[in-house]
Structure 1
Amino acid sequence: MAIGLRLAEKQSLGRLSSVAGHLRGALLVPMLGLAALVFTPYVAIDALVQWHQGSLDISITNRALLMITLALLVVPFQAAAEEYVFRGLPQQVLGAWLKSPWWGILIPIPFFVLGHTYDLYGQVNIGVFALAMGILVWRTGGLEAAIALHVVNNLVVLIGDVIGFSHATTHEVSVAAFWFSNGIIIAFTALAITYHHRVTHRGRGSEVTPCV
């Protein structure tokens, strides 16, 4: 990773994080809040449907609390690592070599999809996620928005599995879950880009300058 970036642009490794040369906390924090907000309707509707069907069975045990704590500690690093590998590095290296951001967005998608074992609906959904995250990195000039959605998504899935709300180990994705998930991805992408654009044009510092 380091060698690729050095060869591509001869710039600091912080450029993998953003155009500011580091991970921008002033952008990451609101993006985490936005991701949580976008997920809220999905979780609420899913809970209501399960309650109506009589299948809602949430159990918060000591073991569940321990697993949730571990998830909160580990998932942010796991999700961030994937974004650095599949979004940060390709867009820096391929974008510099091939002179178009689309190479860095599109080429990693098949590899990201193959790293997940779902049915057809699930794999297409992962592909949509990868495409959206690549566009987010390009349009916001950094990994913050992509990391935020990746972290919140994984936490919702894992914590839901721990408390019995959902099943993270299943490899089958229902049609309803497919459309809900894609809706979340598209909504977050649009809102994140809009937020970044407004903050940039309000002149809140140079740390959120878009990558063009």
Structure 2
Amino acid sequence: MQDKKILCISTVGNMPCAITAAWRDQKLTIFKKDFFSTSAEDNQTKLTELITDRAKKGFTIFIEERFKTIKCRGAYHVNLTDADKLAKTQVVNVAMTNYIAMTQSNMIAFSEAVPKFAIAQSNIDEKIDDSGKITYSLDWSAIKADHRALLLVIYAVVSNDPTQSVVLKGIFSALNKTKEKLSPVTTRINNLKSNDAKRAQALIDKSPCLPINSTKGVPEGFTLVE
């Protein structure tokens, strides 16, 4: 998974929340957590300004809304209840699987400006469906907006960044070389690239926003606490 700067916003829950984070050197650091007014009119302006600013700085931006009212260049609408077509399960299941793995591996850190918080184990009910896949039933009444935003951040880390047009071009370029005789290993690699491209393209197709290129690194104005 490549380094990236992340902004994830959830307006679903008790109070809209935005989390600023960065994935670097196989570690996720939460740098900032902001809460916003419950007034949709106030949020429209403030969140639009925030998203516009972060998009210009190359952030991967996911936003969860009940009604897709915020439309900004560089932001992508992703709801936890959406289906991840590649994983063939809901986004929340992909996010929870990786959240638990990262937590157990101490891969999530918090800056001094953000008090540590987590999704309580008592609010998570792990199940196995008929196909043998692990799914998670959450106590949504106890899951706040900052928890939802955190899960979006995790999903942003493990998802191929749809804003990286350079990455997509490279993937599609590799896929177009089908005339060459490929070894089984190369074929498998190309299949994996194809899956990444499809997931990224699915996010682009469902979003009314236009993609922009993103860059690596820690968010501007923040210091990584090692």
Same-fold call, TM cutoff 0.5:
no
Q: TM-score, normalised by structure 2?
A: 0.26
Q: TM-score, normalised by structure 1?
A: 0.27
- Of Structure 1 and Structure 2, the greater strand share is in 2
